[in-house]
Amino acid sequence: MTTTTKTADATTAPTAGEAVLDARGVTMRFGGLTAVRDVNLTVNSGEIVGLIGPNGAGKTTFFNCLTGLYVPTEGEVRYKGTVLPPTSYKVTDAGIARTFQNIRLFHNMTVLENVLVGRHTRMKQGLWSALLRLPGFKKAEAEATERAMELLEFIGLQDKAQHLAKNLPYGEQRKLEIARALASDPGLILLDEPTAGMNPQETRAAEELIFAIRDMGIAVLVIEHDMRFIFNLCDRVAVLVQGQKLIEGDSQTVQSDERVIAAYLGEPVAESTPEVEAPAEEAPAKDAPSKDAPAEEDAPSDEDAPSEEDAPSDEDTASEEDADEAPAEDAPEAADAPESSEDTPHDPASGKENDA
């Protein structure tokens, strides 16, 4: 890419700190779904602001509200202090241009013609002037062509001005879309994922191009998922999560915010760790009874149920009663038994006779 410095040098530097875009309380609802909720964002002249967030956070919807494709349900959008009309072509005429997440070129038109399409908002000639090819229209057309060639030289595609847009490589189609947006001489350009699908070399070229656009005095608001790209590029970064602005600040502040990390990596990261480790922690607990078995044997637990056997039950009580009665009846015989054994120790028959 060849970005010419003369374009940047010829442009007067904007007033520092002047608010170019001021979005206040922007809310967008689709039936019962709130895609954007009460978002405030300011972009100053000569500033590059990044807008990041997970997929489905409402970034592109917010862009559509800024550029008139959607009419916000609540809130207002001001450009240089003036409330923007809710019509896309009037927003472009006011001074805001944009690119899209998906490339939207006129593929069967040449590279030059695509840039001229973006220039038509600055051409003031009417229909009859164009149909009759009046001198005023011819002059305006020559000026538009000259400006378009300057922009093609700015992005490095001047040698492919007569090529069909569909024949350009992907990275050059992205740059052509930016050139078409610049053709309307905007004070603010909105870039929706300008490096999507690019390789590292093309991403670096896009970064240099955006810096060159900023040097021309044009404020930039960019959506991107490449965090390295966005943090190297932007002066400030705002984070959208579920349609709400979570935080806004410089790159270091945003990168170190725990809420941003949780939004990208997932809220349950810290909480899920104990759940994963829980089985490992519970496993020793299951083995614990075997280790603690001696303690349980010593302690009076359910395993000491034999103590109930030792305890007098109904059957044992009955046996004890019988046992108490039996000695009473057999006591004389028990007493005689030893005497007989003493008197006739060698005559077992006599013992039998005595027993009989």
In this prediction, residue 15 carries a pLDDT of 56
Low-confidence ranges of the chain (pLDDT < 50): 1-14, 269-274, 283-356
In this prediction, residue 9 carries a pLDDT of 36
CATH T-level fold of 7-95+186-267: Rossmann fold (3.40.50)
| pTM score | 0.68
List helix spans (H) across the chain.
5-10, 59-66, 88-94, 111-119, 127-132, 135-155, 170-182, 200-215, 227-233, 251-255, 258-265, 269-291, 293-298, 306-310, 314-343, 348-355
- Pull the structure tokens for residue 283: 């496993």
Residues 165 and 111: beta-carbon distance below 8 Å: yes
Residues 174 and 194: beta-carbon distance below 8 Å: yes
Would you kindly state where each structural domain of the chain is located, as residue ranges?
7-95+186-267, 312-355
In this prediction, residue 267 carries a pLDDT of 61
Residues 107 and 129: beta-carbon distance below 8 Å: no
In this prediction, residue 16 carries a pLDDT of 56
Q: What is the pLDDT of residues 112-121, one digit of tens each?
A: 999 999 988 8
Residues 151 and 175: beta-carbon distance below 8 Å: no
From 209, 240, 208, 204, select the one nearest 223 (Cα to Cα): 240
- Cβ burial of 251 (10 Å; 0-12, 13-18, 19+) is middle
Between CA 151 and CA 184 the distance in angstroms is 11
The DSSP code for 31 is T
In this prediction, residue 135 carries a pLDDT of 84
